[in-house]
Chains A and B, each alone.
Chain A
Amino acid sequence: MTTLAAIEDLSVAFRQGSRSVTALDSVNLTINSGERLAIIGESGSGKSTLALALAGLLPASAEQIGKIHWPNGRPLPGRDIGMVFQDPSASLDPVLTIGEQVAEGAVAHLGLDWKAARLRARDLLARVQLPDPQSLLHAFPHQLSGGQRQRVAIAAAIAAGPVLLIADEATSALDTIVQAEIVALLRSLVAEEGMTLLFITHDIALASSLADRIAVFRQAKLVEIGTSADITRHPREFYTASLLAAHIDLTTPPLIGERA
């Protein structure tokens, strides 16, 4: 098992006026090549900050202490790391065509000219299971549904063939069925390309169905990390157990209407 990235004692703080908000506090985490790692946490746990720190997209006002070791050399966003964001209606440029937005990563990093890049974009759109990719190249984001836009975002993120794909709450804004489709798509894509997947979510059930390992975050700290099976069946930390207990599905007894 080779290491893709080793996060060592990483702390990130954001300056807001005179105050300083800690987003990550002494995080130690190793990401293995080819694995599917889920980052679980509630709002404010620091999971998105971790994603931005890995991708090198932290704002200039952020203070970062600690290091991230990349054995294969510093990654370049786009070429080595692809990112998919939560809101598909906001993460695509409304005035440019789908084709251009999927192709531009290939032009920037693969040295393709626009004609070749568009062909590659068409193929990518087919791979993310969108119908009629040829005409989609000339379509605009507002003409697509949420799920379709997220597929486009995924295609755009992997256009340059990155080794790491970070999905930051990529399914949280979608309907349940669409959510499942996107998760299935991610699983197959990652397997086909041999990419490493970092899947950030607040939904522990989703995480356990997709990931090999789960890392639990709470209030800027890494609380627990282990294999999916271990975490869901034998959580060691109280917080992890509470998260699992709070998860509601069809097997959960009714919350109201019946006395226990």
Chain B
Amino acid sequence: MQRSGKLVIRRLIGSIPVLLIVLVGTFFLLELASGDAVDAYLASSGGGDAGLVQTLRADWGLDQSPLTRLGLYLWNIAHLDFGHSVLLNRPILDVVLERLPNTLLLMGSAVALSFGIGSLLGIVAGSRPGSVRDRLLSIGSLALYAVPSFWLGLVLVVVFSVQLRWLPLSGIETLASGKAGFDRAWDILRHLVLPVGALALIYLALYLRLMRTGMVEVWRQDFVLAARAKGLSRHRIVWRHVARNALLPLITMLGLQSATMLGGSVVIESVFSIPGLGRLAQEAVSGRDTPLLMGIIVISAMLVIVTNLIVDVVYAMLDPRVGASEASA
């Protein structure tokens, strides 16, 4: 546990420069956006005279030099002030925090399902490489990984919502239904089946292939031959030795995938009209609310950093060699 503590602190400190670069980058993009927040505000509120423009500019600090504004921007972020959404007329942080749980629920379920089922199938495929089931699983997973998630979502909607009428079409719950407690949870679950399914099916393919490749690589190692020389059961060799070792690259991939998954949520939330962070990003784009979009990007980056941190800690728990060079012998 002490090893994990040091790891967490080191990684947190190391991620500060990365976050700074992200912030500077988003600030730069904000600058690039034609017209500033005041123009956008006035456009949506119906215009104003030059005096109002100047007052607003001074109020929001927009009449300063870029460097000063960068400093102001960073200072605000440090105080968790991500700015003001012109589109929704609310602080950006509030809006984001409101939408975040839905995305996390969507993402979390998709990751759990794809990782769990994908790695299990990968173990099945990798325990007998070259067999029929291995070839089928490999080709099937490659084909699945080639499918665009939004299209798969639409296909699932056509099959399950339109044709079979088993599951609801869109949204995260039936609006204004007044359901509560278990009923509400069940309602949300029914709504999440298709979007989570669409995402999970595709990422499942990734974990399947990774686990399978890992299994094949680990089979070649000397310690597997040593385990066979000990006459251990096939079950024990596959699960306790090979799969346990092959699991490690998948944990790393979980961290790397967190950014991709967040991006993927945009299209899925759009297809299924789920009020989450991804959909908010799309609304920000169509509403020309660049500060909101940048706020979403910064918060997403923070989420990714935190996720990677958690993944690293889990990895350190599973691989005793991590941090060994720093720990005392």
Contacts and interface: CB of A to CB of B under 8 A. Distances in A.
A57 B222 contact: no
Interface stretch (B142-150, B229-237, B288-296, B302-310): B229-237
B230 A156 contact: yes
A85 B320 contact: no
A79 B244 CA distance: 24
B45 interface: no
Contact of B244 (A83, A95, A109): A95
Q: How large is the interface on A (under 10, 10 to 19, 20 to 34, 35 or more residues)?
A: 20 to 34
Q: How large is the interface on B (under 10, 10 to 19, 20 to 34, 35 or more residues)?
A: 20 to 34
A87 B244 CA distance: 21
Given A93-B241, A94-B320, A108 B222 contact: no
Interface in A84-101: 85, 87, 90-96
B241 A96 contact: yes
Residue in A76, A87, A143, A153 with the greatest tally of chain B CB atoms within 10 Å: A143
Contacts of B230: 77-78, 82, 104-105, 108, 156-157, 159-160
B231 to A, nearest CB: 3
Contacts of A96: 240-241, 244
A140 B321 contact: yes
The DSSP consensus for interface residues of chain B is: helix
Contact of B320 (A95, A104, A105): A95
A91 B230 CA distance: 12
Contact of A77 (B221, B228, B236, B321): B228
A90 B229 contact: no
A159 B226 CA distance: 13
B236 A108 contact: yes
A161 to B, nearest CB: 12
Contacts of B228: 57, 77
A55 interface: yes
B324 A142 contact: yes
A57 B321 CA distance: 29
A156 B227 CA distance: 10
Contacts of A108: 230-233, 236
A104 B229 contact: no
Interface in B173-190: none
Contact of A91 (B222, B244, B321): B222
Contacts of B225: 57, 85, 91
B226 A91 contact: yes
B223 interface: yes
B226 A83 contact: yes
Given A82-B229, A83-B229, A96-B241, A90 B223 contact: yes
Contact of A153 (B226, B241, B245, B329): B226
Contacts of A93: 223, 227, 241, 244-245
B63 interface: no
Contacts of B321: 94, 140, 142
B319 interface: yes
A142 B324 CA distance: 8
B77 interface: no
A87 B223 CA distance: 10
B229 A77 contact: yes
A104 B232 contact: yes
A92 B319 contact: no
A92 B320 CA distance: 13
Contacts of B232: 78, 104-105, 108
Residue in B223, B229, B240 with the greatest tally of chain A CB atoms within 10 Å: B229
B318 interface: yes
Contacts of B240: 96
Given A90-B221, A91-B222, A140 B236 contact: no
A147 B204 CA distance: 43
A236 B87 CA distance: 96
A92 B244 CA distance: 14
Nearest to A90: B222
A92 B245 CA distance: 12
Contacts of A143: 324, 329
B320 A91 contact: no
Contacts of A94: 223, 245, 319-321
A159 B228 CA distance: 14
A25 to B, nearest CB: 24
Contacts of A160: 230-231
Interface in B194-226: 221-223, 225-226
B245 to A, nearest CB: 6
B231 A77 contact: yes
Interface string B260-286: 000000000000000000000000000
Interface in B234-254: 236, 240-241, 244-245, 248
Given A55-B229, A77-B231, 7 more contacts: A82-B229, A90-B223, A93-B241, A94-B245, A94-B321, A95-B248, A156-B230
Interface of A: 55, 57, 76-79, 81-83, 85, 87, 90-96, 104-105, 108-109, 140, 142-143, 153, 156-157, 159-160
20 contacts: A55-B229, A57-B229, A77-B228, A78-B230, A79-B231, A81-B229, A85-B225, A87-B222, A91-B226, A92-B223, A93-B244, A93-B245, A95-B248, A96-B241, A104-B232, A108-B232, A142-B321, A156-B230, A159-B230, A160-B231
